Structure 1
Amino acid sequence: MTTKPSPSTSRRGPFRFWSGMQLWQQIFIALTLGLVLGIVLNQTGNADFAAGFKPLGDLFIRGIKMLIVPLIFVSLVAGVASLQDLATMGRLSAKTFALYLATTAVAISIGLALATVFKPGVGAVLGSARAVDAKDAPTITDTILGLVPTNPVEALANGNVLQIIVFAILFGIAIVLAGDVANPLKRFFDSAAEVVYRLTSIIISFAPYGVFALMTWVSGTYGLDLLAPLAKVIAMVYLGCAVHAVVVYGG
């Protein structure tokens, strides 16, 4: 005797199929659907309707920005506090800084080379261009002084990433130097880091919907005149990342 699936079970089928996909697959599908929908809206003269998707995309971007400060601060404090040997941390910091500078220099060189050869973005115009006044570059002394916040709370509130990183590292070192008396604080940041990681996964799970909304808005507002040069820019970005991953990290 066969039994028919209940209506609730059959309705869950498409949602179960969607939730069973990996996140990158969901994002790729959402990007494609948003691109197609935006082009259709643009070609049919419904650009204003496409603009209605922008708030949903902006909401996702705001959620990402919301994570930046707590994620950097909490994870850095928890990571530094977990290193009981400060000498080891010093060696790791020096090697990490040197590797960061070297790989950054190579990445910039790859980007400049691709931009010089292929000239991506030529023909893409987003709104009207306007002249801006160039500011003088800060001196090395001002740059170093700017790394240390005079008010950590202000640095956190303004999202000054470099000052947040410096303060978080110093705070983590202080927890290590304080010894056993700081164990409750160390456990607090370990727990806070896990909570922030879980919050990050929640926000990232909405990425397909944010990408769909943003892609619909961009393609629906600017149309194929922008998308063709933009596609070249995206292709060059992926090519540069691939070259950097294979040649630099692979080597």
Structure 2
Amino acid sequence: KQFGRIGGKALLYFLAVTTLALFIGVVVANVVQPGTGLDPTTLQKGDVSAYISKAKEKSWIDHLTEIVPSNVIGAFAEGNLLQVLFFSVLFGVALSKMGGTSESLIKTFDKFLQALFKIMAMVMVLAPLGAFAGMAFTIGKFGLAVLIPLGKLMLTVYLTMAIFIFGVLNTICRANKISLWKLLGYIKEEILIVLGTSSSESVLPRMIEKMERYGCSKQAAGLVIPTGYSFNLDGTSIYLSMSVIFLAQLFSVNLSWEQQLGIIGVLILTSKGAAGVTGSGFIVLASTLSSFPQIPLEGLGVLFGVDRFMSEARSITNLIGNAVATVVVAKSENEFHPHLADQPDQRQPELPAFEKD
């Protein structure tokens, strides 16, 4: 029962904080408007105009009915993300209802997921070459002027994540009588590792052990940290929402607040599928944009060249967000004993032999 309570509280916390992060990203992007400043006629040409011509005004009823796939195979073949997500949720619920008989199938899906991540890791080996080509294409086609909004986006993303950490997360910590500064000092080594690898996944084993020694119970740390790597990616949520609004501004696509709320709704689902490995946020962004034909997919080429420079901010924010979540959930269950953190470390966790993502 306690394990179930910890899981339930963690999921509610994840949903609330990541949704807040998405809203913050949208609001800041609308206020700062990093995507403005370019003549849209220099961008909207050729295949870009084809995307804009596909944009249709649809009612909320149309959007809701289109979520339900008429053909499951067709949803996968056409790359309809919302329909695939809808089917995946139903399939997951069905597996949970099957009890122990579904264990072999779940293990098969887990192996399949690991294989997909290995494929992604192999593809990301060529990421530097792709970033070079993407930036060269962007500047060659759109000119040096495109660097101005890209620079504004990078600066805005870093500032927004700093505000989120020292504003939102610090407020959560203070409300729960937790010192954010003490927590940051305790995980400073993990922060430096993430800064060097651009992947919060690289310190997953260390974080579980470190949070236990910080005072969280084994149950809380062992459940909240791994789950948070899929469901509590605060930095990725900010990046995704800001990037979508940035691309809309870049191509002078006026999004109503209803449409922006729809984007947040989709990102609430898609952001939960972004693993804590380098490049996953960009993949989720591409998948999300496929659900919104108003925004030209060609804009991804503009972002790709600088995505790597924002990866560190995303990963560090994700790491700190999960550390705070673990302490908050553990404390709500009276499973947090901060006096343990004051004891000298008798055993330091070894540095993981992680792969370069």
Going from structure 1 to structure 2, the CA distance change for 1:134 and 1:153 (only over 3 Å counts) comes to closer
Match of 1:121 among 38, 42, 63: 38
Match of 1:156 among 76, 79, 86: 76
**Alignment partner, residue 63 of structure 1:** none
Cα distance in 2 between the residues matched to 1:155 and 1:90: 31
How far the C-alpha of 1:205 sits from its partner, in A, is 0.8
Task: String of CA shifts for 1:75-95, please: whole Å, max 9, x gaps.
Answer: xxxxxxxxx96x877765555
- Tell me which of the two structures has the higher relative contact order, counting C-alpha pairs closer than 8 angstroms and 6 or more residues apart: 1
**Corresponding residue SS for 1:234:** helix
Amino acid at match of 1:242: Y
Task: String of CA shifts for 1:56-100, please: whole Å, max 9, x gaps.
Answer: xxxxxxxxxxxxxxxxxxxxxxxxxxxx96x87776555544444
Amino acid at match of 1:107: G
Match of 1:242 among 158, 168, 172: 158
1:138 equivalent to 2:59? Answer yes
Cα distance in 1 between the residues matched to 2:102 and 2:119: 26
Task: String of CA shifts for 1:99-130, please: whole Å, max 9, x gaps.
Answer: 444322221111111128x9433588236486
**Alignment partner, residue 96 of structure 2:** 176
How far the C-alpha of 1:217 sits from its partner, in A, is 3.3
Amino acid at match of 1:102: L
Identify the range of structure 1 (233-242 vs 125-134) with the bigger mean alpha-carbon deviation.
Answer: 125-134
Cα distance in 1 between the residues matched to 2:139 and 2:98: 55
How far the C-alpha of 1:137 sits from its partner, in A, is 3.0
TM-score by length of structure 1 reads 0.54
Cα distance in 2 between the residues matched to 1:108 and 1:90: 27
Cα distance in 1 between the residues matched to 2:112 and 2:58: 38
1:108 equivalent to 2:26? Answer yes
How far the C-alpha of 1:211 sits from its partner, in A, is 2.0
> Does structure 2 retain, via aligned residues, the 8 Å contact 1:149–1:155?
yes
What RMSD, in angstroms, separates the aligned Cα atoms of the two structures? 3.1
Amino acid at match of 1:230: V
Q: List gaps (5 residues or longer) in structure 2.
A: 168-357
How far the C-alpha of 1:245 sits from its partner, in A, is 0.9
How far the C-alpha of 1:165 sits from its partner, in A, is 1.5
Q: List gaps (5 residues or longer) in structure 1.
A: 1-83
Cα distance in 1 between the residues matched to 2:65 and 2:6: 26
Task: String of CA shifts for 1:3-45, please: whole Å, max 9, x gaps.
Answer: xxxxxxxxxxxxxxxxxxxxxxxxxxxxxxxxxxxxxxxxxxx
Residue pairs, 1:151-230, within 5 angstroms: 151-222=71-142, 226-227=143-144, 229-230=145-146
Amino acid at match of 1:239: L
| Matched length | 161
1:233 equivalent to 2:149? Answer yes
Amino acid at match of 2:30: L
Identify the range of structure 1 (90-99 vs 179-188) with the bigger mean alpha-carbon deviation.
Answer: 90-99
Amino acid at match of 1:196: L
Identity %: 21
> Does structure 2 retain, via aligned residues, the 8 Å contact 1:120–1:236?
no
> Does structure 1 retain, via aligned residues, the 8 Å contact 2:139–2:146?
no
> Does structure 2 retain, via aligned residues, the 8 Å contact 1:124–1:230?
no
TM-score by length of structure 2 reads 0.39
Amino acid at match of 1:120: G
Cα distance in 1 between the residues matched to 2:11 and 2:77: 26
Cα distance in 1 between the residues matched to 2:6 and 2:85: 19
**Alignment partner, residue 302 of structure 2:** none
Going from structure 1 to structure 2, the CA distance change for 1:119 and 1:144 (only over 3 Å counts) comes to closer
Task: String of CA shifts for 1:118-150, please: whole Å, max 9, x gaps.
Answer: 9433588236486858632322x3322222222
How far the C-alpha of 1:201 sits from its partner, in A, is 0.2
Max radius of gyration: which structure? 1
